Amino acid sequence: MLNALARSFEPSAISEVFSLAARLKDEGQDIIDLSAGEPDFETPDHVKEAAWAAIQRGETKYTPTEGTADLRRAVQGKFRRENGLDYGFDQVMIGQGAKPLLYRALQATLEAGDEVIIPTPCWPSHPGMVKLCGALPVLVTCHEEDGFKLRPDALAAAITDKTKWLIFNSPGNPTGAVYCAEEYRALAEVLRSHPRILVLADDIYEHITFTEDAFVTFAQAAPEMMERTATVNSVSKGYAMTGWRVGYIGGPAELIGAMRRILSQSDGNPCSVSQAAAIAALEGPQEVLAERREAYRRRRDLVVGLLNQTPYLRCRQPEGAFYVYPNCQDVIGKTTPDGKAIANSRDFAAYLLEAHGVTAVPGAGFHGDPYFRLSTAASSDELEEACRRIARASAELS
Ligand code: PLP
């Protein structure tokens, strides 16, 4: 029944862990789930109210595929105000989250056999989408000692005459790595002599950074790259609106036009009510962003501190997003109390879940081992208890 692509397509490691955790919870086990990639906060009240007002006004019909004019103008304003990026009206469009926009941008440009450079550890959907387009993800390992960031020499070495895109994700999922303007400029310098390479900046964790310097996006740091950069963002993470499904993109008008044509045949427009809510998120009070950023910072400090007191684990302090990515090299080769050998991060994550009720996503899922990802989008009590269990689990290894 299935074609070759569907037959060879692997499920995401995140959804595997999520399903296993759901089954164990269903069986009545006491599970602390730190596998999810979504804020535990509520969507702000003024955003919910804007959605209700839109329903009452009858904004419950189709909108243009590329999104309502009001939301596109709000997105233009956001890019100008927060990122110093001046996109024309025909250079922005709305999608059903960042995810379909990333995919359609790749789909509109990739030919079979083209290559896309993806620094790893990475969000699994980036290489997944490239494969769906019949192109080749070129995974470039970024090392912990480099802050999990792409080095200019590694970028230069990965470029071939088939390279079409380079994908950045800062703050990064799963590492929390954040690029500064200088780092982006050094990478742009490498790209200068390869004018056909496009850059996709996935800025979805923009509002969750703990660095002293303000967040900077690639095209802002390297304005000469603006014409070949697509900047993707969404209201999902910053405004705790994962379920509303609204993302947006700014990029060359030719690309945006092609994406609009594709989406008009496939997905159609994003939800009209969610679009009204997204205007309120982008243009309404922004204090909630700073409050939540501080909460994520406190949780990060708590978890990193506790994990660094745990036998065999080492945890670097992430500069952004709501994940920690501890190094579990030293548990490899150990044995669990019931005699199972830990050969990799997958075994360790399975042991944490089955014996101690904590869900973590193994690094293999992010093309980055030997690590595992924990989300800090949970209460301090849950995070403390999870760290206690992880410490007990590690101490029981022999
Ligand atoms: N990009 C990254 C790096 C993510 O981690 C996620 C979600 O986990 C997305 C994009 C998807 O965002 P959206 O909810 O806007 O589709």
For residue 174, CA distances in Å to 122, 319, 363, 379 come to: 6, 11, 9, 19
Question: How confident is the model over 28-42, as pLDDT tens digits?
Answer: 889 999 998 899 999
Write down the pTM of the prediction.
0.96
Is the beta carbon of 322 within 6 A of some atom in ligand 1?
no
- Predicted confidence at residue 347, as pLDDT, reads 93
Closest residue to atom 5 of ligand 1, CA basis: 173
Question: How confident is the model over 153-187, as pLDDT tens digits?
Answer: 999 999 999 999 999 999 999 999 999 999 999 99
Q: What is the mean pLDDT of residues 288-310?
A: 97
> Does residue 393 surpass a pLDDT of 80?
yes
> Does residue 225 surpass a pLDDT of 80?
yes
Is the beta carbon of 234 within 6 A of some atom in ligand 1?
yes
Q: How confident is the model at residue 74 (pLDDT cuts 50, 70, 90)?
A: very high
Is the beta carbon of 63 within 6 A of some atom in ligand 1?
no
Average model confidence (pLDDT) across the chain: 96
Is the beta carbon of 68 within 6 A of some atom in ligand 1?
no
Cα–ligand 1 centroid distance for 98 (angstroms): 6
Is the beta carbon of 187 within 6 A of some atom in ligand 1?
no
Q: What is the mean pLDDT of residues 314-318?
A: 97
Q: What is the mean pLDDT of residues 113-140?
A: 97
**Alpha-carbon span 395 to 398, nearest angstrom:** 8
Q: How confident is the model at residue 117 (pLDDT cuts 50, 70, 90)?
A: very high
Q: For the chain, what percent of residues have pLDDT higher than 90?
A: 92
Q: How confident is the model at residue 332 (pLDDT cuts 50, 70, 90)?
A: very high
Cα–ligand 1 centroid distance for 43 (angstroms): 16
Helices (H) and strands (E) in the chain, counts: 14, 12
Q: Tokens standing for 193? A: 């002599």
Q: What is the mean pLDDT of residues 323-336?
A: 97
Cα–ligand 1 centroid distance for 365 (angstroms): 15
Is the beta carbon of 347 within 6 A of some atom in ligand 1?
no
Q: What is the mean pLDDT of residues 178-202?
A: 98
Strand partners, 168: 201
Is the beta carbon of 248 within 6 A of some atom in ligand 1?
no
Classify burial at 103, counting beta carbons within 10 Å of its beta carbon; exposed 0-12, middle 13-18, buried 19 or more. Answer: buried
- Predicted confidence at residue 233, as pLDDT, reads 98
**Alpha-carbon span 353 to 31, nearest angstrom:** 8
Q: For the chain, what percent of residues have pLDDT higher than 70?
A: 100
Q: Tokens standing for 347? A: 């075994």
More confident site: 202 or 29? 202
Classify burial at 56, counting beta carbons within 10 Å of its beta carbon; exposed 0-12, middle 13-18, buried 19 or more. Answer: exposed
Q: What is the mean pLDDT of residues 378-391?
A: 96
Tell me if 351 sits within 8 A of 241, measured CB to CB: no
- Extended strands (E) in the chain: 32-33, 92-95, 115-120, 136-141, 163-169, 198-202, 229-234, 247-250, 323-324, 358-359, 361-362, 372-375
Q: What is the mean pLDDT of residues 350-373?
A: 94
Cα–ligand 1 centroid distance for 140 (angstroms): 20
Is the beta carbon of 97 within 6 A of some atom in ligand 1?
yes
> Does residue 293 surpass a pLDDT of 90?
yes
Closest residue to atom 11 of ligand 1, CA basis: 99
Is the beta carbon of 37 within 6 A of some atom in ligand 1?
yes
Closest residue to atom 12 of ligand 1, CA basis: 98
> Does residue 92 surpass a pLDDT of 80?
yes
Is the beta carbon of 123 within 6 A of some atom in ligand 1?
yes
Cα–ligand 1 centroid distance for 99 (angstroms): 6
- Predicted confidence at residue 371, as pLDDT, reads 97
Q: How confident is the model at residue 5 (pLDDT cuts 50, 70, 90)?
A: confident
